[in-house]
Amino acid sequence: MSVSPARKIAFDVLRRVEGEGAYASDLLHEALDVRVKPADAALATEITLGVLRWRRLLDFLLDRHLKKPVQRLDLPVALALRIGLYQLRFLERIPARAAVGESVELVKQARKTSAATLVNAVLRRSAEEASIPSAEFVPPALAVVERLAILHSHPAWLVERWFARFGESQTIPLLVANNQRPRLSCALHSPERRAEIFAELESAGMRVEPGLFLKSAFALSGGSPTKTHSFRDGLISIQDEASQAVPLLLGVQPGDRVLDLCAAPGGKTSALARAAGSAGIVIAADRHTHRLRAMRAQLERLHLQNVRLVELDGEQPLPFRAKFDRILVDAPCSGTGTLARHPEIRWRLRPDQLAEFHQLQVRMLRSAIASLAPGGQLVYSTCSIESEENESVVLEALGGDSSIQRVSADELAYTLRPQLVENFDPRSLFSADGGFGTSPANHTDGFFAAAIERGRGAL
């Protein structure tokens, strides 16, 4: 039996994700070029991200039929078992013989022929019980957190901290959302050509749906927008709706001097550049040269010329003499608000890393505050839902500095209101103290943002 292109791509991507620490979304983008048929691309993506999302549950079910845990098997063998079981459990249209047979063939092609019999036997037994709900295999006496961690396929420590903070009523919807396919959200850069753009996307077989709260946002299903003229011509971009909202909180005006301190890959920078206009100056900084190179290509696609790229370490004092009217600090973070989109994060993140991120974020925010002009505003944001990386960072960075203060929820809601769809209440996006927040349970990535302002008489 030969292996289909979709399963071979999924196997190779998963092998690199596990073996090299790469990100599945990047590898899939690289692998799924124009030579790959749309049906194969869809199946490869489904298997890859599905196996990563459900890895803990898959391993729990597989371990019942193994003498040693899946994680102690050779990586190609473990991946073949997970790929096979994922198809048996979650993809009803895949015949069991194909799921089992091609998984065995994957092991053989990986030069692990000695494990072929094991893979075949385990998956055949798994196929026989595939219709039995997974919950029936979990011991009833198991602690609730551990049970949820297995059935919803998350690390127990992460479930435990969310359970303590949010309670069961909010934690379970979050776990469910993290295992669902996220909306493919896009940004519309030329609203005056909305009808033309949507017509092209629909003619390419895609379904267009309105954004949840932003006028500039829309969602797609049924295809890849990157293959359309609208994408290539810079009329649209792929970007989560919550991510689109963050730079809008700054209220950048034409002619403003703007700093994007952690700019790559450039989605938020482009919004800042459009708002600042040709009379404005936008400095986009990042510490990684290769990310800046990729960002330059993105800016060229979008026909944005008022952006200057600078390589620097945002944790250190910034090298700019002039101060900035607007600053965005979209800080490196744990990414726990993006576990549906980047499921591998949940298996890599360690509890102690939250404290490490906190210290890095505080240093970066303090560095940026020093470059904020009198009367200027700064937005600090993350794609994390952890308090250590969000409110705690803002509180520590501000300290007792009387020259800077939080921008209120009412002011931010007023700034954002013109960008919102009709009848959407902007106050629903903010906490009482002015924190912007979205959740995967509400069909976007989980983002946090807070805005601060320097008094006009300061400095």
Q: Are residues 273 and 403 in the same domain?
A: yes
Number of domains in the chain: 3
**Domain end residue (candidates: 217, 238, 259):** 238
Facing residues of 209 across strands?
Answer: 219
Residue 445: pLDDT band with limits 50, 70, 90? very high
Q: Are residues 265 and 208 in the same domain?
A: no
Paired tokens of 370: 């020093």
Q: Are residues 376 and 252 in the same domain?
A: yes
Residue 34: pLDDT band with limits 50, 70, 90? confident
User: Residue 104's pLDDT is what?
Assistant: 96
Angle between helices 5-20 and 75-90 (to 10 degrees): 130
Structural domain of 56: 5-137
Residue 69 inside a domain? The answer is: yes
Residue 54 inside a domain? The answer is: yes
**What average pLDDT score do residues 117-139 get?**
96
Q: What is the pLDDT of residues 379-425, one digit of tens each?
A: 999 999 999 999 999 999 998 788 899 999 999 999 999 999 999 99
User: Residue 457's pLDDT is what?
Assistant: 61
First to last CA, the chain: 73
**Domain end residue (candidates: 197, 212, 238):** 238
Residue 159 inside a domain? The answer is: no
> Whole-angstrom Cα distance, residue 117 to residue 455?
71
Paired tokens of 51: 């196996």
**What average pLDDT score do residues 237-262 get?**
97
User: Residue 33's pLDDT is what?
Assistant: 85
Q: Quick one: DSSP state of residue 384?
A: -
Q: Are residues 201 and 266 in the same domain?
A: no
Residue 142 inside a domain? The answer is: no
Whether the per-residue pLDDT at 173 is higher than 90: the answer is yes
Residue 455: pLDDT band with limits 50, 70, 90? confident
Catalytic residue selected from 186, 262, 333, 383: 383
**What average pLDDT score do residues 136-156 get?**
96
> Whole-angstrom Cα distance, residue 240 to residue 196?
22
User: Residue 282's pLDDT is what?
Assistant: 97
The fraction of the chain above a pLDDT of 70, given in percent, is 99
Residue 315 inside a domain? The answer is: yes
Q: Is 269 exposed, middle or buried (0-12, 13-18, 19+ CB in 10 A)?
A: buried
CATH number where 89 lies:
1.10.940.10
Region of 197 (left: φ > 0; alpha: ψ -120 to 50; beta: rest) is: alpha
Whether the per-residue pLDDT at 1 is higher than 90: the answer is no
**Domain end residue (candidates: 222, 238, 254):** 238
Residue 319 inside a domain? The answer is: yes
Long-range pairs for 411-420 at CB < 8 Å and ≥24 separation?
Answer: 411/451, 412/249, 412/436, 412/451, 415/248, 415/249, 415/250, 415/251, 416/245, 416/248, 416/249, 419/214, 419/215, 419/216, 419/245, 419/248, 420/213, 420/214, 420/215
CATH number where 408 lies:
3.40.50.150
Q: Is 54 exposed, middle or buried (0-12, 13-18, 19+ CB in 10 A)?
A: buried
Q: What is the pLDDT of residues 335-350, one digit of tens each?
A: 999 999 999 999 999 9
Q: Are residues 203 and 294 in the same domain?
A: no
Q: Are residues 223 and 297 in the same domain?
A: no
Q: What is the pLDDT of residues 210-235, one digit of tens each?
A: 999 999 999 999 988 998 999 999 99
Whether the per-residue pLDDT at 356 is higher than 60: the answer is yes
User: Residue 227's pLDDT is what?
Assistant: 87
* Average model confidence (pLDDT) across the chain: 95
CA-to-CA separations, 434 to 221, 250, 278, in angstroms, rounded = 34, 13, 31
User: Residue 399's pLDDT is what?
Assistant: 85
Q: Are residues 219 and 308 in the same domain?
A: no
Q: What is the pLDDT of residues 45-61, one digit of tens each?
A: 999 999 999 999 999 99
Q: Are residues 227 and 115 in the same domain?
A: no
Q: Are residues 275 and 360 in the same domain?
A: yes
Whether the per-residue pLDDT at 459 is higher than 60: the answer is no
> Whole-angstrom Cα distance, residue 105 to residue 3?
7
Residue 394: Cβ within 10 Å count: 21
Asked whether the CA dihedral 445, 328, 434, 394 is positive or negative, the reply is: positive
Q: Are residues 438 and 334 in the same domain?
A: yes
The fraction of the chain above a pLDDT of 90, given in percent, is 94
CATH number where 213 lies:
3.30.70.1170
Residue 369 inside a domain? The answer is: yes
Q: Are residues 214 and 270 in the same domain?
A: no
Whether the per-residue pLDDT at 456 is higher than 80: the answer is no
CA-to-CA separations, 411 to 26, 401, 448, in angstroms, rounded = 37, 21, 17
Residue 177 inside a domain? The answer is: no
Q: Are residues 106 and 84 in the same domain?
A: yes
Q: What is the pLDDT of residues 105-114, one digit of tens each?
A: 999 999 999 9
Residue 202: pLDDT band with limits 50, 70, 90? very high
262 as an active site residue: the answer is no
